[in-house]
Amino acid sequence: MNPRKRMGWMISTACLAAIAIITMNVAYGTTQNPKKERVIKIVAQRFSYTPNEIILKTGESVRLEFTSLDFIHGFKVPDLNIRADLPPGQVTTIHLTPQKAGVYDFLCDNFCGAGHEDMSGKIIVKDSR
Amino acid sequence: MINRRDFMKLTAVGGGAVFLSGLTKLAQAGSNYESAVSSYEDFFFVQLSDVHWGYQGPANPEATNTLKKAVATVNGLDIQPDFIVFTGDLTHTTDDPKERRKRLAEFRDIVSELKVKNVRFIPGEHDASLDNGAAFKEFFGKTYYSFDHKGVHFVMLDNVSDPGANIGDAQLAWLAADLAQQRKDANIVVFTHRPLFDLVPKWDWATRDGAKAIDILMPYPNITVFYGHIHQEHHHQTGHIAHHSAKSLIFPLPSPGSQDKRTPLPWDPATPYKGLGFREVEAEVKTSEYKIAEFPVVRG
């Protein structure tokens, strides 16, 4: 391999590694087949999540894909023991398979400004039976 | 001449309930309590919290007057405290660094009118979380430190300069080293802004690594925590450690977990300043007791 080709290969490899690194995956619940996951895209920006109400069914595997527009917001669901930082410029992925019906509050737990206290939402898990 | 203990009895009637906190040695002392504590010098300090200078909104239409009235009320106390402590959220947050400094400067100027000049500060998340405490430090110095006063070791903890409400490993190491210099039975008081324990996580009433701090505090039997953040009086125990939150000087918040959102309680024109106030804490050094007296913003 000549030096120019080798350099190109190294740059390509570095780019692929960077892309892999900036996609954060966090799994909660049982191990699932990714093909069966429903994808829910959520945008976080001062001082709201869109959507801020997420309706799921028990046993349903979902992939929450967060995009933050303006701040390293947090995503915390205290009663499901879930939390993640949401850095801008990347997709933060959380895999979730809720097992118990109920309403689970979530909030931004990284102080982000004057409306921080209002940045919250709910995961509503309905019984699938 | 009225002494400090008689004064506390009077203010208990005029200023609100007196609580006994810390360890339970008072009960053990029984009727001998007065004689047991009369042979040493006790002292008291005043805790004010959550001023939110710069706030504008319906929850407090008197926001530009509340702090000034509280300063006047503290200055009017019959006996002045040894020192005064502000446990964070001196200012209401703003995204504009210039405006943040303007609010901090105005706050500093108002509290400079306090007769007592020994005044201590720690930041709240509204002061420090958006710039990691940079503006706060320009006005008030370090965000965490310790000092000693008449036999009590006071520790000021910062759990807000990290926007994620982490105390952080560096500060936790400092805390452990600071306390290691104390006797195990030393009288220790910790001031902090957020609760160190998980009070209501869904309302962000917690410190992410607060459990690590409590682990460091646990070996010390005579330790008490005073904090702010939740805009109301609240008392909680983690093991032998008592945690006491203070009222706010801007608007009260609902009782922990009592409703869906932690929205401010509405201002009542019929009873202005209701739910707001400050507190005196009397340190009974010999028995590690802390008597708390709650005061309204304006004394009738």
Interface test with A, best of B92, B127, B129, B204 (most A CBs within 10 A): B204
In chain B, % of residues over pLDDT 70 = 86
Query: Around Cβ B150, how many Cβ atoms within 10 Å?
Result: 12
Q: How far is A102 from chain B (nearest CA, A)?
A: 14
Domain assignment present for A79: yes
Residues of A with CB under 8 A from a CB of B: 72, 74, 76, 78-79, 85, 105, 107, 109-114, 116-118, 120
Q: Which residues pair with B236 in a beta bridge?
A: B243
pLDDT of residue A48: 98
pLDDT of residue A6: 53
Q: What radius of gyration do chain A's Cα atoms show?
A: 18
Please determine, for residue A20, whether its predicted confidence score (pLDDT) is greater than 50: no
pLDDT of residue A76: 98
Give the mean pLDDT of B252-274.
95
pLDDT of residue B179: 98
Q: What is the H or E stretch that residue A4 is in? A: helix A3-21
With contacts defined as CB-CB under 8 Å, which chain A residues touch B160?
111
Q: How far is A52 from chain B (nearest CA, A)?
A: 14
* Number of structural domains chain A divides into: 1
Give the mean pLDDT of A34-44.
88
Q: Using pLDDT thresholds of 50, 70 and 90, give the confidence band for residue A27.
A: low
Q: Cβ(A79)–Cβ(A105) under 8 Å?
A: yes
Top pLDDT among A20 and B275 is at: B275
Give the mean pLDDT of B201-209.
96
Domain assignment present for A6: no
Q: What domain range includes position A90?
A: 23-126
CATH of the domain at A96: 2.60.40.420
Q: What is the H or E stretch that residue A38 is in? A: strand A38-45
B134-162 pLDDT tens trace: 999 999 999 999 999 999 999 999 999 99
Please determine, for residue B122, whether its predicted confidence score (pLDDT) is greater than 60: yes
Do B92 and A114 lie within an 8 Å CB cutoff?
yes
Q: What residue ranges do the domains of chain B occupy?
A: 4-29+43-295
pLDDT, chain A, mean: 83
Domain assignment present for A115: yes
pTM above 0.80, yes or no: yes
Do B163 and A72 lie within an 8 Å CB cutoff?
yes
Please determine, for residue B292, whether its predicted confidence score (pLDDT) is greater than 60: yes
Interface test with B, best of A45, A81, A109, A122 (most B CBs within 10 A): A109
Rounded to whole angstroms, what are the CA distances from B114 to B69, B73, B74, B84, B277? 11, 10, 7, 9, 16
Domain assignment present for A32: yes
Q: Cβ(A79)–Cβ(A54) under 8 Å?
A: no
Top pLDDT among B21 and A106 is at: A106
- Smallest Cβ distance to A114: which of B95, B165, B262? B95
pLDDT, chain B, mean: 88
* Cβ-based neighbours of B41, under 8 Å, separated by 6 or more: B150, B285
Please determine, for residue B33, whether its predicted confidence score (pLDDT) is greater than 60: no
- CATH architecture of the domain covering B4-29+43-295: 4-Layer Sandwich (3.60)
Tokens 């939110």 locate to B52
Q: Which residues of A108-123 are buried (b: 16+ CB within 10 A; e: fewer)?
A: bbbbbbeebbebbbbb
Top pLDDT among A128 and A48 is at: A48
